[in-house]
Amino acid sequence: MLVLGLETSCDDTGVGIVDADRNILANVVASQLAAHKPYGGVVPEVAARAHLDVIDGVIAQALKESGLSLSDIAAVAATTGPGLIGGVMVGSMMGKAISAVRKLPFISVNHLEAHALTARLTNDIDFPYLLLLASGGHCQLLLVHGVGDYRLLGRTIDDAVGECFDKCAKMLGLGYPGGPLIEVAARDGDPKKFLLPRPMLGRKGCDFSFSGLKTSVRTLIEGQTLTPILVSDMAASLQSAIADSIADRARHAFAILKEEKQSVTAFVAAGGVAANQKLRERLTKIAEENNVAFAAPPPELCTDNGVMVAWAGLERFRLGLTDGLDVRARPRWPLEEVRNARC
Ligand code: KG4
Ligand code: ZN
């Protein structure tokens, strides 16, 4: 059973093909980085047009890479939200068109659910698991009970963690996307050089906050010359503050689950920020403290891609969950609102 997945919700045109035995047959991602670079961030209209320009070619390349044709595909999945609506429409219309022409079932995939389920493809994780979903648009801790069955434990009350990385990187003159550039710059830096706040540390519950951190970075570098050493020290200090803050929130999530006598099979991290090596090391320790395994997809499957959409589509498809072609593209679609029709 092969499923084709299309991802176009932000600035990557991703096409993936997976099978039920957890094999990845194709993973092609066309990045729009160059198109958005002059603006220092993603421009929605530019993104939508760029998806439209390349999506045919990316699908053709995925089929070529896998040696398959559309007649081998059992179902088509596409991200139908949340995300930049122009891009979401390009991918979902393409998915629906393939479905209509080839008479294949169509599966509407929530982008966050695609991130949330990827570790089941890459690490064979069973339900229920604790999930940190950390990306450019989201930062949440969730209990994943099953496909379409998510309980939100905490979320950011202001900025997403990826947004914090991106905005601070911009202030430091590093460029976009900020997360990977901060990670590289931090390698030569002293994480203790700048005393940055650890937002929400010790607070009840497991909500996050990152806007204060961003303001602190701005205040500390104001009027300073951005020498390579200053940039590296600030990158290391920021990465360390973010890791401390997330680690504290994750500990609180485990404490809540313990109190409720809710066991989990694993602690999973997903979303672009989960590609961060320092963060992965911290999260691994927290999982160990709680006697569960830590799992995160390889970095290239943490950031946006079509494979995760194909996999989430496959998970839904094998539960008999398909969608009509009248399904809407949605700019906003929280994960807790994704329902498995059988729930
Ligand atoms: O999941 P994703 O590709 O797109 C969204 O759904 O938002 O996440 C993109 C975010 C960006 O903010 C980017 O800076 C961040 O993930 N990111 C990282 C790393 N790689 C990507 N943040 C920290 N360290 C990284 N290595
Ligand atoms: Zn994403």
Pairwise CA distance, residues 308 & 316, whole Å: 12
Tell me which ligand sits closest to the C-alpha of residue 179: 1
- Domain ranges (residues) in the chain: 2-116+301-340, 127-296
- Whether 204 shows a pLDDT value over 70: the answer reads yes
CA 138 to ligand 1 center in whole angstroms: 10
Pairwise CA distance, residues 208 & 238, whole Å: 15
| CATH numeric code, 127-296 | 3.30.420.40
CA 2 to ligand 2 center in whole angstroms: 23
Q: Verify whether ligand 1 is closer than 6 Å to residue 200 (CB atom).
A: no
Encode pLDDT of 105-141 as tens digits: 999 999 999 999 999 999 999 999 999 999 999 999 9
Encode pLDDT of 274-333 as tens digits: 999 999 999 999 999 999 999 999 999 999 999 999 999 999 999 999 999 999 999 999
Pairwise CA distance, residues 238 & 195, whole Å: 9
Q: Verify whether ligand 1 is closer than 6 Å to residue 189 (CB atom).
A: no
Encode pLDDT of 218-227 as tens digits: 999 999 999 9
pLDDT at 340: 67
pTM of the model: 0.97
Say whether the peptide bond before residue 128 is cis (omega within 30 degrees of 0).
yes
pLDDT at 134: 98
pLDDT at 341: 43
Among 34-38, 73-77, 100-104, 271-275, where is mean pLDDT lowest? Answer: 34-38
* Number of other residues whose CB lies within 10 A of the CB of residue 328: 11
**Residue nearest atom 23 of ligand 1, based on CA coordinates:** 179
CA 157 to ligand 1 center in whole angstroms: 19
Encode pLDDT of 151-169 as tens digits: 999 999 999 999 999 999 9
Residue from 109, 110, 303, 309 whose mutation best tests the ligand 1 pocket (most atoms within 8 A of CB): 303
Q: Verify whether ligand 1 is closer than 6 Å to residue 88 (CB atom).
A: no
CA 272 to ligand 2 center in whole angstroms: 6
Q: Which CATH number fits domain 2-116+301-340: 3.30.420.40, 2.120.10.70, 3.40.1260.10, 3.40.50.280?
A: 3.30.420.40
pLDDT at 194: 98
Q: Which residues contact 224 (CB under 8 A, 6 or more apart)?
A: 230
Q: Verify whether ligand 1 is closer than 6 Å to residue 297 (CB atom).
A: no
- Whether 39 shows a pLDDT value over 90: the answer reads no
Pairwise CA distance, residues 115 & 218, whole Å: 31
Helix 161-171 × helix 178-186 angle, to 10°? 70
Q: Verify whether ligand 1 is closer than 6 Å to residue 180 (CB atom).
A: yes
- Whether 342 shows a pLDDT value over 70: the answer reads no
- Whether 55 shows a pLDDT value over 50: the answer reads yes
Residues lining ion ligand 2 (Cβ < 5 A) are 135, 304
CA 273 to ligand 1 center in whole angstroms: 4
Q: Verify whether ligand 1 is closer than 6 Å to residue 276 (CB atom).
A: yes
Q: Verify whether ligand 1 is closer than 6 Å to residue 303 (CB atom).
A: yes
Query: Would you call 73 helix, strand, or coil by DSSP?
Result: coil
Same fold, 2-116+301-340 and 127-296: yes
- Whether 208 shows a pLDDT value over 80: the answer reads yes
271 CA: nearest ligand 1 atom: 1
Task: Give me the mean pLDDT over the 59-68 stretch.
Answer: 98
Q: How many CA atoms lie within 13 A of 263 on its CB side?
A: 5
Q: Exposed/middle/buried for 124, CB within 10 Å: 0-12, 13-18, 19+?
A: exposed
Task: Give me the mean pLDDT over the 68-88 stretch.
Answer: 98
Q: What token pair was written down for 43?
A: 């421009």
Helix ranges restricted to H, the chain = 33-36, 44-66, 85-102, 111-122, 161-171, 178-186, 211-221, 228-259, 277-289, 299-302, 306-317
Q: Verify whether ligand 1 is closer than 6 Å to residue 240 (CB atom).
A: no
CA 162 to ligand 1 center in whole angstroms: 5
> Residue 332's closest CA among 164, 84, 92, 108?
84
CA 105 to ligand 2 center in whole angstroms: 24
Task: Give me the mean pLDDT over the 171-175 stretch.
Answer: 95
Q: What is the residue whose two structure tokens read 């891609």?
A: 305
pLDDT at 31: 94
How does residue 343 score in pLDDT terms, banded at 50, 70 and 90?
Answer: very low
Encode pLDDT of 247-260 as tens digits: 999 999 999 999 99
Q: Verify whether ligand 1 is closer than 6 Å to residue 161 (CB atom).
A: no
